[in-house]
Amino acid sequence: MVANMDNNPFMLENGEVLYRPGEHGALIENLNDLEEDIIFIKNIDNVSHQSQATEEMESKKC
């Protein structure tokens, strides 16, 4: 379910609640819509500490 800025269900014009796919299914659909050559994905398991942010960004520049 999608929430609005007040954290209430986002309602469509026809009165139905808007739902979006979640988990990996949504990620794959969104990635398929991109036309980039390289995409970096981060989740809670592989986010670097802020002290390493500059070094990490430099290593990913093409």
Q: How many structural domains is the chain composed of?
A: 1
- Residue in the block written with tokens 């609005």: 4
Token readout for 42 is 């981060």
Q: How far apart are CA 59 and CA 40, in angstroms?
A: 12
Question: Which pLDDT belongs to residue 46?
Answer: 65
Domain that holds residue 49: 1-62
For residues 29 and 21, the answer to whether their CB atoms sit within 8 Å is: yes
Q: pLDDT tens for residues 12-50?
A: 999 999 887 766 667 888 888 899 888 887 776 666 777
